[in-house]
Amino acid sequence: IETLGRVEIHTHEHKNGMMQMRKLEELQVPAHQTLVFQPGGLHLMLFAPTQKLVAGEQLKMTLYFADGDRVFTQARIYNLLEQSQDNNS
């Protein structure tokens, strides 16, 4: 995603009694399967976005796969700090 800065695939895992995010170098999608991206699970994390992102809005995205396929989709924008506060209440 060239207009959004750096994008990483992350997941959450329980480690030593704590929930931690972990960067994934790749993500395999089994044939005819669906993966769900959501807060607290698999998600895309944007670093140093070059455009203003507003929590709650939808972001148009194109996902590129190793076999050359593309998927045009939208994703809801979440604020990491707000998610942390909601999870601690």
pLDDT in tens, 48-74: 888 888 999 998 888 888 889 998 999
pLDDT at 72: 93
pLDDT band for 86, please (50, 70, 90 cuts): low
pLDDT at 83: 60
Go through the domains of the chain in sequence order and give each one's CATH number. Answer: 6-88 (2.60.40.1890)
Distance of CA 4 to the CA centre of its chain: 13
**For 6-40, what is each residue's pLDDT tens digit?**
889 999 888 888 888 899 999 888 889 988 888 88
CA distances from 37 to 17, 33, 41, 50 (A): 23, 13, 7, 22
Q: State how far the Cα of 19 lies from the Cα of 11, in Å rounded to an integer.
A: 10
Instruction: Report which of 37, 81, 77, 80 is spatially closest to residue 60, judged by C-alpha positions.
Output: 77
pTM > 0.85: yes or no: no
